Amino acid sequence: MEKYLIAGLGNIGQEYEHTRHNIGFDVIDALVQKIGGDFSLERLAIFAEVRLKNKVLVCIKPTTYMNLSGKAVKYWMDREKIPVDRILVIVDDLALPLGKLRLRRGGSDAGHNGLKDIQATLGTDQYPKLRFGIGNDYPKGRQIDFVLGKWKPDEAPVVDDKIAQSVAAIESLVLEGIEKTMNKVNNSTSGS
């Protein structure tokens, strides 16, 4: 049975729950809830294994904090013997407007510390990434407060919609492949 590693990036701890920076965790939660599975605390991650048709999805929320995400991703890749092209990392992206998703086969970390650490640990940037646009509506010098801040009430419907679209994108990637899914996700005009 083909296995995929689906890693949603974020920070553990109540103060980080449902913040912009933790959108990766929220997407993983929605995915596991939709397919039906339970989380358990395992080595370096909050972990759930779910089945989608004849595929196994190893879903992780690293407990290493964002800047050390590579340690958890590498551990679970090795433990589950998952090749780099069957990893998907879900991450927040300041450069994309709120409501925009972008799926890429590889590419730079774009200054994101979680991706930077994964790239350094794996020795490659050639692994699929689903970037979740959080926008950049903050005053100069307040980037950290913005990223670690909660969504505004008027953003919630867009965020919920995009979380659902992210879950659909993950299912599509696993069942239909990355090319078809990139066309769907990257050409979607809804939300922005």
Residues catalogued as catalytic = 21
Strands in 2-8's sheet, in edge-to-edge order, are: 40-42, 45-52, 55-62, 2-8, 87-93, 129-133, 101-104
CA–CA separation, 15 and 20 (whole Å): 12
CB of 11 within 8 A of CB of 23? no
Residue showing tokens 């979607």: 188
Q: Give the count of alpha carbons within 13 A of 173, CB side only.
A: 31
CA–CA separation, 102 and 100 (whole Å): 7
